[in-house]
Amino acid sequence: MSVEKTGGPSNYEYVSARVRARRAKLFAEEDYRKLIRMGPGEIARYMEETEYEDEINALGSRYDGVDLIEYALNRNLAKHFEDLLDWAEGRLYTLIARYLRKFDAWNVKTALRGIYSGADSETIAEDFTYAGEFDRQFLDRLAEAGSIEDAVELLDGTRYGEPLAAAFEDYEESGVLIPLENAADRTYYEGLIEGATKSGNRATQLYAEFLQAEIDFRNVRNALRIARSGAEIDPEDYFIEGGDLFDASDVAQLSGNVDELVTFVRDSSYGDDLSDALNELERADSLIGFEHALDAALLEYSNHLSHVFPLSVCPVLAYILAKEREVENIRAIARGREAGLTETEIEDELVIL
Amino acid sequence: MYEFVLAFVESSVLLAQDGAASGGPAFTAEAAAALSVGLAALAAGYAERGIGSAAIGAIAEDESLFGTGLIMTVLPETLVILALVVVFIVG
């Protein structure tokens, strides 16, 4: 029992039992197959009969169609992830909270984008996902900030304070949001890995390895996007520290050429796990397929870990990923139907294990 | 937990000294049998701790698991029952 002294022992048994039960309730392949054939209204009605019932009923009078589905999905996601933090104690709590900070970064970016586009505070607040470390009042104040400068000042004192303040100068010079968004994302990823590798327990080491894989995949994705867009962007600006596949200079060198990058990844330690994804990239020459294959590989790996280490943070992590995937899949179906895509086109957008 | 063990060792040392003074064995067979039941119960309790919290978690999500959860939780009790056999052999 290697447990950090802060906050008492972790209750892995309790949390992983609950998480497994919730995981079993996620939509299966048949559900998706049914959903693909439905229109937005029918999807909402279908969701009403599943665990999304509360959210659909609560929001049903205010929104309809795809908006209803989207808000219901977001709210449900936030509810489930908040539950996770409610249950967890001790070190387990720290590990989960660390991962859920993703939503803080998301909320910060939402607020910045909203303010930039001149949306009013209510519209911004509607788009928040209340699943991270920031509480509701703080986020509401963030949504009410009159200008980007005010928002950055509000965030001063949080972990995003310093990087955002530094990026704010770039923003003032260039007038585009990218430096600020980038700073938020990088703060999240760098905080994620920090301290995770030092602890000795095998399951925690695997957790760290998993996070490293996620960072590496993110870097591969960014590098590929830069390489394919052919834009004059310095890839080092977008490089996230903490992975073990690249360092910043590798990325700078490789992102000029897609083929070299693919060979590099194929020869790396991820080669086996990603061979499907890489084949897909070469076959279809499409980034979307590759990115979905990356997601599927990550999902599969987390699943595998949750079976190997049932009493660790791994099942929780696998659940978080699977739930996010479900939300993204349903959203893709609803949006796809609305835009009039065919069933096969929508199916290509889904990531199903 | 260590305090309990220490307290136990201290009192058993006292017992041993008493026994030595009166000439009988320091630790009688009955005392050893009682100890074995006690230790078995302690181990069963420790095992049930984890199973119990997992069972409660599962029941909280799905009430139909109550029966299964209960059975799984009390499975380690068999340890205590087996330890009771020792009492009958000795007694």
Whether chain A has a CB inside 8 Å of the CB on B47: the answer is no
In a domain, B47, yes or no: yes
In a domain, B8, yes or no: no
From chain A, pick out residues whose CB is under 8 angstroms from the CB of B50. 13, 311
Which residue is associated with the tokens 């497994």?
A20
Higher confidence at residue B13 or residue A139? A139
Q: What is the mean pLDDT of chain A?
A: 82
Q: Say if CB A312 and CB A331 are below 8 A apart.
A: no
Burial of A57 (0-12, 13-18, 19+ CB in 10 A): exposed
In a domain, B58, yes or no: yes
Rounded Cα gap, residues A54 and A249, in angstroms: 50
Q: Say if CB A101 and CB A188 are below 8 A apart.
A: yes
**Half-sphere exposure for A252 (CA within 13 Å, toward CB):** 6
Is it the case that residue B40 has pLDDT exceeding 90?
yes
A198 — phi, psi (to 5°)?
A: -80, -30
Cβ pair A17:B50 closer than 8 A? no
Rounded Cα gap, residues A129 and A110, in angstroms: 9
Min Cα separation A17/chain B (Å):
5
Is it the case that residue A198 has pLDDT exceeding 70?
no
Rounded Cα gap, residues B64 and B7, in angstroms: 44
Structural domain count, chain B? 1
Average pLDDT over residues A111-125: 84
pLDDT at A3: 31
Q: Is A26 left (phi over 0), alpha (psi -120 to 50) or beta?
A: beta
Average pLDDT over residues A95-114: 87
Nearest of A214, A234, A241, A183 to residue A297 by alpha carbon = A214
A158 — phi, psi (to 5°)?
A: -90, 180
Question: B interface mutation test: which of A18, A20, A26, A51 has the most B CBs within 10 A?
Answer: A18
C-alpha distance from residue A176 to each of A74, A173, A291, A338, B9 (Å): 27, 9, 26, 31, 73
Rounded Cα gap, residues A146 and A216, in angstroms: 36
A205 token code pair:
């080491």
Cβ pair A14:B61 closer than 8 A? no
Question: B interface mutation test: which of A11, A12, A13 has the most B CBs within 10 A?
Answer: A13
Is it the case that residue A222 has pLDDT exceeding 60?
yes
What are the DSSP calls for A241-304, one per residue?
A: TT-SS--HHHHHHHTT-HHHHHHHHHHSTTHHHHHHHHHHHHHH--HHHHHHHHHHHHHHHHHH
Q: Which of A96-100, A205-209, B85-89 has the highest mean pLDDT?
A: B85-89
pLDDT at A323: 93
DSSP A26: S
Average pLDDT over residues B49-69: 92
Q: Tell me which residue in A14, A20, A22 faces B53 most closely, judged by beta carbons.
A: A14
In a domain, B12, yes or no: no
Q: What is the mean pLDDT of chain B?
A: 84
In a domain, B71, yes or no: yes
From chain A, pick out residues whose CB is under 8 angstroms from the CB of B53. 11, 13-14, 17
> The complex's ipTM?
0.72
Rounded Cα gap, residues A122 and A135, in angstroms: 16
Q: Say if CB A119 and CB A68 are below 8 A apart.
A: no
From chain B, pick out residues whose CB is under 8 angstroms from the CB of A16. 54, 57
A88 token code pair:
């967890």
In a domain, B6, yes or no: no
Domain boundaries, position B82 = 31-86
List, for residues A256-283, the tens digit of each pLDDT value. Answer: 677 777 788 788 877 777 777 777 777 7
A156 — phi, psi (to 5°)?
A: -60, 135
In a domain, B51, yes or no: yes
Average pLDDT over residues A183-204: 75
Is it the case that residue B70 has pLDDT exceeding 90?
yes
